[in-house]
Amino acid sequence: MEQELTQADKKKLRGIAQRMEPALSIGKQGLTESVLKEIVTALGRDELVKIRFNISGKPMLEMCQAIENQTHCTRVGNVGKTASFYKAKEEIEE
C-alpha cells in the first residue's frame, strides 16, 4: 500500500537528494528492463535514488512517469537532467 508523501516530506527528501550523486544514469537505450531492475534494487537498498538522464524536457518527464508507474515509487523532485525517486522500505518488503 503506497503512502502519500506530504509536501513537507518531499521538501525534506529533495534537500537530501540535492547533496547526493546520481546512483544511475539512463542513456541512449532509454528505460530498458535491466535499467528498471537496477532502479528497483537501488530503491530497495537506499529508499531515495537520484537518476541522471541523457534527455530533458517533456521526454524526460514522460520517462519519470513511466519509472513511477512501473516501480511504484514517488518522484520527489527534478532539476535539469536529474530526478529523485523515493520508495519506503516497508512498501518494498510487502
At 66-90, the pLDDT tens digits run 999 999 999 999 999 999 999 998 6
Give the chain's mean pLDDT: 90
For residue 42, being part of any structural domain is answered with yes
For residue 1, being part of any structural domain is answered with no
For residue 2, being part of any structural domain is answered with no
CB atoms within 10 A of CB 17: 21
What domain range is 75 assigned to? 7-93
For residue 76, being part of any structural domain is answered with yes
* Integer angstrom CA distances of residue 87 from 19, 22, 28, 54, 65: 18, 16, 26, 23, 14
Q: Rounded to whole angstroms, how far apart are CA atoms 91 and 23? A: 20
As for how many domains the chain has, the answer is 1
CATH number for the domain including 79? 3.30.110.60
What's the predicted TM-score (pTM) here?
0.88
For the chain, the maximum distance between any two Cα atoms, rounded to a whole number of angstroms, is 35
Q: Find the mean pLDDT for residues 15-34.
A: 92
